[in-house]
Amino acid sequence: MSSAEINKNEVDIVIGALNADLTQFLNSWKPFFSGFHLIIVKDPELKDDLNIPEGFDVDVYSKPDIEKVVGAANSAMFSGYSCRYFGYLVSKKKYIVSIDDDCVPAKDPKGVLVDAVSQHVTNLENPATPLFFNTLYDPYCEGADFVRGYPFSLRSGVPCAASCGLWLNLADLDAKGNDTSEVVSNRGFIPPALGVLCLFSKSKEQMPFKKICNGTFFNTDMFERLVCGY
């Protein structure tokens, strides 16, 4: 799926702003953000005014906006990179993409910039296969099929509620892993859908994540129904 085939009215791009000057960050993503609506949430602890270049459809939220919605007593929950969660709260779109303001688009082995937006949406609109996984390619991509031996009973897959990105040039580890691992960076490009995580809902049902480079996308309807239990 190309960005031209995406209904851009169904997507919000949410950015938690911990840095005041977003010029370099937004310009690096401009080929893929163009035409999409952006929600930028300023870290309540950030004192400087935001510097946002022209050419973007953007709504900016700051500490007064957060306090107006959740109350002053609860606004501390949205400090630091947690400020992005306020963007999830106010978005009304079907899909949400969240990208940190210190990330730049990845390049594939040929040096071509990766359109993470269209790849994430493709993940969400196609089933995931977390129980029996093909590490060669995504069986749902155009022109592909399941490899020999893939169980027929699992080929319909399961709904994909969230599509998570993978950092490059930094070890993408949890807190404990960062403290104990000798790995200092991840420099290998990971093609779409060549890694899978499972998220457990309150009912302990496995919900699929597909991992690709850069950012996190949510199908808000599926995420609320499958993960949050709404």
In sequence order, what are the residues at sequence separation of 6 or more whose Cβ sits closer than 8 angstroms to the Cβ of residue 110? none
Radius of gyration of the chain (CA): 18
Cα 221 from Cα 162, distance rounded (Å): 11
Please list the pLDDT of the chain residue by residue as tens digits (230 residues). 444 477 889 999 999 999 999 999 999 999 999 999 999 999 999 999 999 999 999 999 999 999 999 999 888 899 998 999 999 999 999 889 888 898 888 888 888 888 888 888 778 888 888 777 766 677 877 788 888 888 888 888 888 888 877 667 666 666 666 666 665 555 555 554 443 333 332 233 323 333 333 345 555 555 444 444 33
pLDDT at 132: 77
Looking up tokens 């977390």, which residue turns up?
130
Residue with tokens 């400020």: 83
Q: Which alpha helices (H) appear in 114-196, and where do they start and end?
A: 116-125, 175-180
Alpha-carbon dihedral of residues 16, 189, 114, 104, nearest 10 degrees? 30
